[in-house]
Chain A
Amino acid sequence: MKNANGSVFKYGDNVDTDVIIPARYLNSTEAADLAAHCMEDIDKTFVSRVSAGDIMVAGKNFGCGSSREHAPIAIKAAGVSCVIAETFARIFYRNAINIGLPIVECPEAAAEINEGDRVNIDFDSGIITDETTGKKYQGQAFPPFMQKIIDCEGLVNYINQNG
Chain B
Amino acid sequence: MSKMTMSQKILAKHAGLDFVSPGQLIEAELDLVLGNDITSPVAIAQMDKLGADGVFDKDKIALVPDHFVPNKDIKSAENCKCVREFARRNKITNYFEVGEMGIEHALLPEKGLTVPGDLIIGADSHTCTYGALGAFSTGVGSTDMAAGMATGKAWFKVPSAIRFNLSGKLPKYVSGKDLILHIIGMIGVDGALYQSMEFTGEGVANLSMDDRFTIANMAIEAGGKNGIFPVDELTVEYLKEHAPGKEYTVFEADEDAEYVQTYDIDLSSLKSTVAFPHLPENARTFDEIGDIAIDQVVIGSCTNGRISDLRAAAEILKGRHIAEGIRCIVIPATQAIYMQALNEGMIATFINAGCVVSTPTCGPCLGGYMGVLASGEKCVSTTNRNFVGRMGAIDSEIYLASPEVAAASALTGKISSPLDI
Contacts and interface: CB of A to CB of B under 8 A. Distances in A.
Interface in B41-61: 41-42, 45-46, 49-51
Interface in A100-140: none
Given A27-B75, A89-B223, A95-B141, A67 B123 contact: yes
A26 to B, nearest CB: 5
B155 A23 contact: no
A29 B389 contact: no
Interface stretch (B186-194, B239-247, B340-348): B186-194
Of all A-B residue pairs in the complex, the 7 with the closest CB atoms, nearest first, are A95-B141, A27-B75, A69-B141, A98-B143, A61-B190, A67-B125, A23-B366
Given A27-B68, A67-B123, A89-B223, A160 B50 contact: yes
B25 A18 contact: no
Contacts of B165: none
B75 A87 contact: no
A128 to B, nearest CB: 21
Interface of A: 14, 16, 18-19, 22-24, 26-29, 41-42, 60-61, 64-70, 72-73, 87, 89-91, 94-95, 98-99, 143, 145, 154-156, 159-160
B225 interface: yes
Contact of A14 (B38, B125, B190, B394): B190
A22 B39 contact: no
B216 interface: no
Contacts of A16: 385, 387-388
A8 B96 CA distance: 45
Interface residues of B, number: 50
B42 A156 contact: no
Contacts of A99: 141, 143
A16 B366 CA distance: 13
Contact of A28 (B75, B123, B124, B141): B75
B73 interface: yes
A44 to B, nearest CB: 9
Contacts of A155: 143-144, 147
A24 B194 CA distance: 28
A37 to B, nearest CB: 11
A69 B139 contact: no
Interface in B117-171: 122-125, 127, 139-144, 146-147, 150-151, 155
B279 interface: yes
Interface string B374-404: 0000000000010111100010000000000
B79 A22 contact: no
A72 to B, nearest CB: 8
B223 A90 contact: yes
Interface in B258-282: 279
B141 A61 contact: no
Interface of B: 25, 38-39, 41-42, 45-46, 49-51, 67-68, 72-73, 75-76, 79, 122-125, 127, 139-144, 146-147, 150-151, 155, 189-190, 193-194, 220, 223, 225, 279, 366-368, 385, 387-390, 394
A156 B366 contact: no
Given A29-B42, A61-B190, A94-B144, 6 more contacts: A23-B366, A67-B123, A67-B127, A98-B147, A154-B143, A159-B50
A69 B145 CA distance: 11
A23 B368 contact: yes
Given A18-B388, A67-B123, A26 B38 contact: yes
A30 B390 CA distance: 21
Contacts of A98: 141, 143-144, 147
A14 B280 CA distance: 11
A94 B368 CA distance: 25
Contact of B366 (A66, A91, A159): A66
B141 A94 contact: yes
Contacts of B390: 18, 23
A77 B384 CA distance: 29
Given A143-B25, A156-B49, A61 B193 contact: yes
Given A64-B190, A67-B124, A91 B279 contact: no
